[in-house]
A and B are shown apart, each in its own frame.
Chain A
Amino acid sequence: MKLKKPWWNQPGIQIASVLVALIIVGGIVGGIFLTQTPPEQPIAFPHNRHVAIGASCLYCHTGATLGPSAGLPGIEKCWGCHQQVQKQSPELTKLAGYVERNEAIPWVPVAIQPDFVHFKHSPHLNAGLQCSACHGDLSKMKVAEPQKGQNMGWCLQCHKNTAPEQWTKLSDCATCHY
């Protein structure tokens, strides 16, 4: 007489459970890898060193007070200083290469929002918010790192805490979604 295997020893169930486990683990790893690790930049720009010598964020990210996007610096901005200072380093050799070829540096944006969120820098800075409130303490980072949990609840929490008297306006869907 053939013994019936218990359900957890059925090969179909075992293969299916391994597959499900693999998909879940893959999703978690992929999610963390895609959102929580700093992307590879063309030049490993050391934010901490620039902040330490007193460079303002707005010196390179000029658009922040003016418009929706803070902007990323081009070769003129970098070369404006590095033509004179600190020429000898492997990362700056890459910069010199971009300048020589007269090519834009293909920076990878780190703090990004989905297409249906129309975040604007200028109203936040005009309201007196510091860059570090959302982007973390750049004086402790080398390349810019994505911050955890930048979702809608996080946005609304800050809107609620910093300006409760403007809650109608700041909780309006049309403030960000249109």
Chain B
Amino acid sequence: MAEVSKGIAEKWGLVVDQDRCTGCNACVVACSMENNVPFTGEDNVAFGRGTYWIYNKRMWEGAYPEVAPAFQPVMCQQCGSAPCEPVCPTFAAVHSEEEQINLQIYNRCIGTRYCANNCPYHARQFNFQDPDIPEPMNSYLNPDVTIRRRGVMEKCTFCVQRIVAGRQTASAEDRPLRDGEVTPACVAACPSGALVFGDLSDPSSRVSQMAQNERQYKLMDELGTRPKVTYLKGGGRNGG
């Protein structure tokens, strides 16, 4: 974890407002469609081999009959000091210096699964099988994202294909990226606006403003992973 000494480099960040999340799972569906996340089927999910780049953690609060669900969408936290990176023997889990996110380079990955074992967030998914995409289903595939084969680790990339496309469009039009121009699929799909994505290095961006909120916390911040995802505490205490 050599990056600790380099100082805090910030680029892309995500804010999850738990007061706004209704647990509708639209983010999970949008993510699977955008990123060609394979359908593994009931049996594999029962074996703990389901692949979801983002999952909605549901907790029940209160005692029966006064129970209410609390939702916490969890995706790769894009740690500034990621536990998955130093353990990869093939440098398939690498840190992007330009975008300040964690990348998974599928063609380098040999499937040791060290990274998933070292990830405290359960954000990494392993392909135990080749994806089964029968004939009419291949039309839904996103050509911008590689289809991962068996034996390859995968995870949320903050929709890096959209980041790169946005960056290239902006540079073709000779202007800087605007705030809110790049949105990952989960953010674009969220109907209640619980997810906000943007540039943390720009203090005036919406995501930077929201990350300053008094309700903010980070998942397992005490581990020193420096996650790029900020959660805003829910529970209806702050009018949600």
* A contact residues vs B (CB 8 Å cutoff): 68, 114-116, 118, 120, 122-123, 126, 168-169, 172-175, 177-178
Contacts and interface: CB of A to CB of B under 8 A. Distances in A.
Contacts, number: 54
Given A174-B160, A175-B98, A178-B146, 8 more contacts: A116-B107, A118-B161, A120-B168, A122-B172, A168-B98, A172-B98, A173-B103, A175-B164
A11 to B, nearest CB: 39
B145 interface: yes
Interface string B194-208: 000000000000000
B97 interface: yes
B10 interface: no
Given A122-B168, A169-B98, A115 B103 contact: no
Contact of A178 (B94, B164, B168): B164
A114 B164 CA distance: 19
A127 B172 CA distance: 8
Interface in B67-124: 94, 96-99, 101, 103, 105-107
Contacts of A123: 168, 171-172
B138 to A, nearest CB: 13
12 contacts: A114-B107, A116-B106, A118-B161, A122-B168, A126-B172, A172-B98, A172-B99, A173-B103, A174-B101, A174-B103, A174-B163, A177-B103
Interface of B: 94, 96-99, 101, 103, 105-107, 144-147, 157, 160-161, 163-164, 168, 171-172
Contact of B160 (A126, A168, A178): A178
Contacts of B160: 174, 178
A178 B103 contact: yes
Contacts of A118: 144, 146, 161, 164
B161 A178 contact: yes
A173 B106 CA distance: 11
A3 B172 CA distance: 79
A173 B96 contact: yes
Contacts of B96: 172-174
A134 B200 CA distance: 37
Contacts of A178: 103, 144-146, 157, 160-161, 164
A173 B145 contact: no
A162 B96 CA distance: 21
Contact of B164 (A115, A116, A126, A174): A174
A126 B171 contact: yes
A166 B36 CA distance: 30
A165 B93 CA distance: 25
Nearest to A118: B144
Contact of B98 (A115, A126, A174): A174
A129 B96 CA distance: 25
Contacts of A174: 96, 98-99, 101, 103, 157, 160, 163-164
A123 B168 CA distance: 6
A91 B144 CA distance: 36
B164 A177 contact: no
A66 to B, nearest CB: 9
A65 B214 CA distance: 46
